Structure 1
């Protein structure tokens, strides 16, 4: 497994408050990683830095075999380089069908002008079927996305992310608002996605993290407090004090 993303010595302050403090982090490709930590630990800022939404005051963020600096790139360049992000609240095109949503995401990885000239290719149609199968929405392809349940919309958004074929997926609290059965299915989906991609899941739900069965990074006050298996980090005294003891 090769290192895909490496952050070192990254710090960022907002109005004198250090949201990220000398943070170092790396993830391989493919790999599944869970990020946990108390509110205000810097989890969202961490994702904002990787996607170019927030610029750190210092540090390095390197991506890919050639170790290109993400700090020199715009948000759209970072997305094109292969970093995809799914926010907590699903944003799908509700007036379009599931198939159309996936087709737009598929076309989107090419660039704005290609979308205008996008023709339904045989490979494109096959890829949509493959993704629909993975996200469990094969039966719903012709349905309007607005009619889907909350959990199904989350899956569609994961599918739209996969359609863009990113190398690194950042997924924010995918289990929020889901039924236990939906949560279980989401776990399977993310584990499957991590066979080919690097997947970072930010999550509060400990049961969900346990089912992911992957390495866990604990953030606190903007830096890494502990790293390892869930059992390893949840037995760490500092982690218990700052996070689990609350």
Structure 2
């Protein structure tokens, strides 16, 4: 499996506190990975670095087949190169319908003026219908996003990211605040998405991670403490001491 993203020896310090400490991490083109670790382990900073929000003090981050450096790109360029990120709190356009939210997110090259006169073509509408079925909102296309449940808004936001056709999807605590049925459906959406792209899920819910059935990376004090299957990492004495034993 060829590598899509390779992070090597990355460190970042905030006011003397080392948030990321000589971190190395790699993920393949179509792979699902879960990242776990105690609060303050560096999980959010790790995502901030990949998306260009935070600049590391040292290290390299290489992207794609040509191994281009993400550190030379702006946040917007990184997003255009195919890195999509979903934050914990869903951000959707509440007054617009599900269909309009998905149409706005489609990866058509549209400048600010083109958007004003843009009318969706049939293929855009078809793509939106496909996305809506993929995220379980096919029946909700005409509904306003503000009327959706918390879980459905999370799915809509994942759909909006998928509409941009990212090659890497970073998802922060998708299971938080969801009902068991919503959590199960979220698992299905992420597993399906990882068939054609890399998906990194930061999560605390161990049951949710078990259902993802993927490789797990444990972060502690800004470094990788352990990596492997969930059973492998949860049997690791250091992981039990710093994270699971709490």
Report the TM-score, using the length of structure 1 for normalisation: 0.98
Residue in structure 2 matched with residue 150 of structure 1 by the alignment: 150
Q: Does 1:178 align with 2:178?
A: yes
* 1:113-192 aligned within 5 A: 113=112, 114-192=114-192
In structure 1, distance between residues paired with 2:27 and 2:110: 27
Q: Does 1:59 align with 2:59?
A: yes
Aligned residues: 245
Deviations 1:136-180 (A, max 9, x none): 001000000000000000000000000000000000000000000
The 10-residue stretch of structure 1 (119-128 or 156-165) with the greater mean CA deviation from structure 2:
119-128
Task: Let me know the Cα RMSD of the aligned residues.
Answer: 0.9
| 1:54 counterpart SS class | coil
How far residue 111 of structure 1 moved from its aligned partner, in angstroms, is 4.3
Deviations 1:172-198 (A, max 9, x none): 000000000000000000000000010
| 1:227 counterpart SS class | strand
In structure 2, distance between residues paired with 1:135 and 1:112: 27
**Which ranges of structure 1 fall in alignment gaps of 5 or more residues?**
none
In structure 2, distance between residues paired with 1:17 and 1:49: 16
Deviations 1:46-86 (A, max 9, x none): 00000000000000001000111111111000000000000
